[in-house]
Structure 1
């Protein structure tokens, strides 16, 4: 599997994971607070505590989703190319 294909697979997985994480963030926010998630947490009209809580929640979920997507895409690429994950990381950087 070429380096370009590996990079495209990883980017696609991260974009998909980020999108799913955003939906999970919105759903979790709605479940916990009963309100829709802030459309723009940087808006000064939004309470600072709410903005910070939303930033922490969304940052954690997006970071977790990206990490899992990177790990899984590395595993798939490693199996497909029969190379170790270290070799793949060196080739895609």
Structure 2
């Protein structure tokens, strides 16, 4: 049975997972650094901390969620491009 062209290959899935973890880690570190520079406080680690200001918790949650979505999309695109390059190289060797 031929694989559907739009269905991600196993390599794309594995690459996306690996790149998502790496991008998520890097985004988390960058977000913590920027948060510290902008607010002067460490990034919140416990959103349910009663001492954490509600506005600060909400803003941090929104920024962190947006960063996570961006990191996932960038990772998915990067994985697809990498797999396409590898497939093109291996296809050119076969001929």
Q: TM-score, normalised by structure 2?
A: 0.75
CA shift for structure 1 position 5: 2.9
Q: How big is each residue's C-alpha offset from its partner over 1:25-74, in whole Å with a ceiling of 9 and x where there is no partner?
A: 10110010011011112223311101001111111222111111111111
Asked whether 1:16 is paired with 2:22, we answer yes
Pick the aligned partner of 1:71 from 65, 77, 87.
77
In the other structure, the counterpart of 2:38 is 32
- Give the count of matched residue pairs: 80
In 1, Cα distance between equivalents of 2:11 and 2:79: 11
| Unaligned segments of structure 1, at least 5 residues | 83-93
The CA distance in 2 between the partners of 1:24 and 1:61, in whole Å, is 10
**What is residue 64 of structure 2 aligned with on the other side?**
58
Runs of 4+ in 1 over 6 A off after TM superposition: none
With normalisation by structure 1, the TM-score equals: 0.77
C-alpha separation in 2, matches of 1:5 and 1:78: 10
